[in-house]
Structure 1
Amino acid sequence: MITTTGLTKVYRSGRSRGPEITALDGVDLHVREGEVFGVVGRSGAGKSSLIRCVNLLERPTAGTVTVDGTDLTALAGRGRRAGKELRRARSSIGMVFQHFNLLSSRTVQDNVELPLEILGHSAQKRSARALELLDLVGLADKAKVYPAQLSGGQKQRVGIARALAGNPKVLLSDEATSALDPETTRSILGLLRDINQQLGLTILLITHEMEVVKTICDSAALMERGRITESGTVGELLATPGSRLARALFPVDGAVAGPGSTVIDVTFHGESATQPVISQLSRTYNIDISILGAAMDTVGGRQIGRMRIELPGAFEENVVPVGFLREQGLQVEVVETAETVAGVPPTADLPDATEPSAALTEEGAK
């Protein structure tokens, strides 16, 4: 449904010898129809530039963006204003913003009607559609109130209703929950998942919160310095040894008891999550196993368990026990460095980067 190929965005200061900032550096991304896809990364990784290039609010410096089979970059033209064909293509893409972007002078219903007003729909059709969407997001009784009378979560629900006004096939979410408290965040994420399932809507969201990806995403990508460094379904990522995104999604800590041992992370999912595999391992090979840390949670709608255990002896002495665990269908990853053993968060080494300032963005767009 959404494909970017070699997507590059360079912001220029406007001066002939001014600095350049590469926000996107050849991004290849594929979002399948009907899935919720999360792009996660630290502030400055290029996430906002990516999502703004997907609907061409920012014109890419190079590369292509295809949405529902239409190459939007081919419709962009050369001028600053979007042409008729691009505006029509954009009508199939809804956008939810971090800070709501509601018009304070308009009622809730009028805010939802705004996109339909721009598209030239009649007042009767606008009103019917707005009331239908307000009911969908649980705000049917707030149609005539103004944004100032709403809580943050209610404002975001209005923003979601407005984004759905034009019956889009794709919904883009730009840090839609980062300004909300945890309880409200959970309710908004639940609403987005319900909309995804009821309407078959494809959702691309960007976030720096792992809990968002864990709660509703089918697939995810890790973004660093304007590049996608990991990508896949949540299940694939959790089954990939060494995946930093998987470790961040499902961390488990635990310090080694002493030298001369083998520390491994074992991931359980499906039926194996309820089987006494570790006790079977201990009895079968008559070895003492130390459990350094363990956790169980629901990730991507699946029950996942992860355990960090310590086996006596060097890895060469534990090849057979490790093989036993893998034969049970478990993912086994050897923890090799003192840093990861000590439980340093896997995202601690994510590089700092700087998103271009608003002033630079505006100047470079001229």
Structure 2
Amino acid sequence: MITTTDLTKVYRTGERDITALDGVNLHVPEGEVYGVIGQSGAGKSSLIRCVNLLERPTSGTVTVDGADLTALARRGSRTAPARRPTAELRAARSRIGMVFQHFNLLSSRTVQGNVELPLEILGLDRRERAAKARELLDLVGLADKARVHPARLSGGQKQRVGIARALAGDPKVLLSDEATSALDPETTRSVLQLLRDLNKQLGLTVLLITHEMDVVKAVCDSAALMSNGRITESGTLTDLLATPGSELARELFPVGGEPTGEDRTVVDVTFHGGTATEPVISQLSRTYDIDISILGAAMDTIGGRQVGRMRIELPGPFEDNVVPIGYLRQQGLQAEVVTAPTAKGAPVPTLAKEGAE
């Protein structure tokens, strides 16, 4: 549904060039909620603004729902120069909704009036606008606030108005730029649930920009990690959790804990699917008659399935624990060796470091 290829954005300030996007390749499948996460300055907001061409990319392509927006932006005529949106580009962008962090509501208009604004631009008459706006407000749970002005709304209600307004053009794609970062945790959960409900009810593809891992865990099917203008890692959450050495997996389910002694092997174990509810660790302890220490654990539910990670400590060097680690992998778990002194003080084998089977 959304694809960027070698996308680059360079901002020129005086004699200095600042590269915000550095060859970004991203693919968001149709019907998914896809999160892009990274620290401030990673390039997330530049990316999402280039997706709907609020910012013109310096190079590369952006394709949304089969339309190459960058090609449409380059087309011009005497009446519509290339630096201004063409009719084709405007039509393509009308199928992309945008939700902003700070709501951007007009204080002089009522809630219904704010939702009607894009409908006015689309040329609907007064009766059509009113009917459509009421329908959208009912969809986001604000039918009773139609005649209220934004100043009388809570932050969460304002964001729901922003979402209703973004849906006015019946978009196939919804872009969310840090839409919940100004909200309290409870309100954040309700807005994220609304986005997920809209994704399912309307078949919307949602591209969500955030710096909060909890947002990704709560609502996303897939995610990408951005750093210094580049995508460093991407995939479905399930695949990421099963990938040895995944930075996103570590951030989504952080586990801490240091070895309690020098002669110990520390292993990060990832549970997903049916294994998340099985007593695998206790079975391991009984099967091999070893004492296992749990140094840290993080469990959560993603897509209705329990997923989690656990850091365990096994007694002895790596050579003494090859078979127990193999047992964990045979049970369908991802087992990644974090710390493992060897009997002779040699480096840990590459196989153990990578957590491969």
TM-score normalised according to structure 2 size: 0.92
C-alpha distance in 1 between matches for 2:249 and 2:117: 40
Q: Does 1:298 align with 2:295?
A: no
- Counterpart secondary structure, 1:76: helix
Correspondence for 1:194 among 194, 197, 200: 197
Q: Does 1:248 align with 2:251?
A: yes
1:349 matched to which residue of 2? none
- Give the C-alpha shift of residue 337 in structure 1: 9.1
2:270 matched to which residue of 1? 267
2:345 matched to which residue of 1? none
C-alpha distance in 1 between matches for 2:276 and 2:90: 49
- Give the C-alpha shift of residue 324 in structure 1: 0.4
- Counterpart secondary structure, 1:116: helix
2:261 matched to which residue of 1? 258
Correspondence for 1:209 among 199, 202, 212: 212
Correspondence for 1:219 among 219, 222, 225: 222
- Counterpart secondary structure, 1:206: strand
Q: Deviations over 1:231-250 (max 9, x none)?
A: 00000001111111111111
C-alpha distance in 1 between matches for 2:278 and 2:163: 42
Q: Does 1:231 align with 2:234?
A: yes
Correspondence for 1:122 among 122, 125, 134: 125
Deviates more, 1:174-183 or 1:262-271: 262-271
- Counterpart secondary structure, 2:339: coil
Q: Deviations over 1:46-105 (max 9, x none)?
A: 000000000000000000000000000001036332111100100100000000001111
- Counterpart secondary structure, 1:335: strand
- Give the C-alpha shift of residue 255 in structure 1: 2.1
C-alpha distance in 2 between matches for 1:50 and 1:307: 34
C-alpha distance in 2 between matches for 1:44 and 1:119: 35
1:342 matched to which residue of 2? none
1:87 matched to which residue of 2? 90
Q: Deviations over 1:114-141 (max 9, x none)?
A: 1110011111111111000000101001
* 1:102 aligned partner, one-letter code: L
Q: Is the 8 A contact 1:269 1:305 kept in 2?
A: yes
1:142 matched to which residue of 2? 145
Give ranges in structure 1 of 5+ residues lacking alignment. 339-366
C-alpha distance in 1 between matches for 2:29 and 2:66: 12
Correspondence for 2:103 among 100, 103, 108: 100
C-alpha distance in 2 between matches for 1:274 and 1:119: 52
Q: Deviations over 1:306-359 (max 9, x none)?
A: 211101111122111100000000011111399xxxxxxxxxxxxxxxxxxxxx
Q: Is the 8 A contact 1:263 1:308 kept in 2?
A: yes
Q: Is the 8 A contact 2:264 2:340 kept in 1?
A: no
Q: Is the 8 A contact 2:7 2:23 kept in 1?
A: yes
Count of residue pairs brought into register by the alignment: 335
- Counterpart secondary structure, 1:34: coil
Deviates more, 1:245-254 or 1:199-208: 245-254
* 2:234 aligned partner, one-letter code: S
Q: Does 1:40 align with 2:43?
A: no
Q: Does 1:56 align with 2:53?
A: yes
C-alpha distance in 2 between matches for 1:283 and 1:37: 41
TM-score normalised according to structure 1 size: 0.90
Query: Quick one: structure 1 residues 337 and 20, their matched pair in 2 at CA, closer, same or farther if it must change by over 3 Å?
Result: farther
Correspondence for 1:184 among 166, 182, 187: 187
C-alpha distance in 1 between matches for 2:288 and 2:264: 16
C-alpha distance in 2 between matches for 1:123 and 1:202: 29
Q: Is the 8 A contact 2:318 2:340 kept in 1?
A: no
C-alpha distance in 2 between matches for 1:290 and 1:201: 45
Q: Is the 8 A contact 1:116 1:166 kept in 2?
A: yes
C-alpha distance in 2 between matches for 1:32 and 1:336: 37
Q: Is the 8 A contact 1:196 1:203 kept in 2?
A: yes
Query: Quick one: structure 1 residues 239 and 50, their matched pair in 2 at CA, closer, same or farther if it must change by over 3 Å?
Result: same
2:134 matched to which residue of 1? 131
Give ranges in structure 2 of 5+ residues lacking alignment. 75-80, 342-357
C-alpha distance in 2 between matches for 1:185 and 1:12: 36
2:326 matched to which residue of 1? 323
Q: Is the 8 A contact 1:42 1:224 kept in 2?
A: yes
- Counterpart secondary structure, 1:303: strand
Q: Is the 8 A contact 1:215 1:301 kept in 2?
A: no
Greater RCO structure (CA 8 Å; 6+ sep): 1
